Structure 1
């Protein structure tokens, strides 16, 4: 639950407490009025003055409360005005009734009705000041001090009990708010897990579909490749016997066609290998060759809006690992780099040797990352992409694969200055294998 909801809940709680206390206070005021009238029954002038004062104060308090009904807390100035008016009324009541006991019932009633939802430290002091002034006037007019002292203690007790009740209610509301927040976060986590499951199921289906398509393409492709090869050999053997206009086919058209067929076959082979789901054993592989596989599989996405620069160091040592996973690492880094460039940009893929390690670098000229984003990029399910455009697992998978190969990832990035992912792989077999 967020802060505005917490504040709304606390305000609603305070309003409900005030509504209940308002009803109790109104009934209590009416009862006190009748008790004061009974205490001076027969003194009709005093009863008239008392009734007029009571009616004015009561109506004023009702109007003030209705005006404050939409507010979470009462304005301090109006609260001071109300207490001052109540004090003046008590002085009149006391004078008219010779400080009969019902007059002193206003002290605990005011303590209950005062606004404790606002954390105004002066409120208790104001109530105590009211009691002291009324008590001092009553003693000067001949009232025994024991009576007001008893009701002052009663009002302090009522005020403490109400404060404890409000504190308990606030604690319960905080607990409920915290629990509601936990449930909201759990619900959000379930939604994300559901989206991830759907995404994984879709990726699994796409992998099976890709493997099936690759298999279907491979069969007719093998016939085409065999037939073009046979035609090329026959024309090359009979090059001196064929018509001059067919020489262009032998020298340029058929070699270019065979090269295109080989490229298609390589892409199909890469796709079939990448789509396989069975565990891959640790084998010897050439990092440059796997980078070329990844480039062939992603070139369709790159040519549209970015330039690609490839700088692969010659004579790299052969590595031990899982080639298909290395291809997945390179693909994820290249795709991320392409997505980081909203306009036309440049991606540079390079390999080299350094201090007994083999380095793979994927640098882009995209938007870059802030330090906060940079610190979280390898967290599972963290993504800065819009909803539905990323699962937040790409770089987490890259980190897992590189770690499983005994390597590490170094990232250099600044906002608006692009990013550089540098993967350092050991030349030997990873210790965990």
Structure 2
């Protein structure tokens, strides 16, 4: 039970109850905007890579690390951040993260215009700390500030902030660069976080992400020893690994195996993350409404879709068929991503929900970091994408297997 659910007078007054609900969704909107701003800031260098390489006289590897360093920071910092969120005033944590995002944006601009690559990397590390804090806080708080029967819906909507932020960064970056220079992309996207924090603060979020007393070491140990938590965390790892593999390598694959140009391939592949706006936000609605709050059927169905799509990549030819597989894979993998953060927090005591969410984040982002690198190594070693797609098929099969045995939250209680 959250602080908003407590108190007899509130329960007997429908108007006050509706007001609390409205404020809860305002908090979700603020967290969504903050996360989208951080995601746009994260992907911004990828949208202006040629300009960045020319402007700073660096190669592709150095340019690529300006994105990867934020993932690496998130993997390392996620669990400590989650533990802190379970012990900290949520308003202060989100406010500090929002401020850090603004600082990272301004710092990045100064470093970029001053041709200071090392300083720019350091600024991106600060941005990574901000992003993982906002993501963990958002995935936790979104399920706290609304009614329990809307929890998965709220968290699913929140997770759609990531693909929206990526799309904003990819498409908006060149536009900002054309008007104000490529370095201006950093503060431009970071500044959107100020709008998000204003919405968040206006909603009057609860003091803590969890409820009751802060967790002790024994409670934290139970999270790390919880097999159900690790099962859902691995489901997140597989989903993020598949997501980043296809997102990273499909433009090249389509260019090499079809008559499409790189620009045309990129436009088609842009649909892959974009479909996440529907899949991620719809995952909670589907689970809450069609399956009465059960989580396993939705995740299992998501991986069955991904399995079908990845098998299709091995046998189909032609742009329409490949695009259909890409669309199916994008929908399935993000249907799973949209639900795992609700799923895992329901497997543990509410006082350690932030820790559980942070564990999923850390383990999942490790998959996101590793999968594109392993796929690239497979392509380089074999000279084709077949082994990489076989690897993706293995991940999808593993996802189906894990989803089959994953417990429902009520079963693990």
Structure with higher RCO (Cα < 8 A, 6+ apart): 2
TM-score, normalised by the number of residues in structure 1: 0.21
**Greater C-alpha radius of gyration:** 1
Q: Which has the higher strand share?
A: 1
Q: Which has the higher helix share?
A: 2
TM-score, normalised by the number of residues in structure 2: 0.22
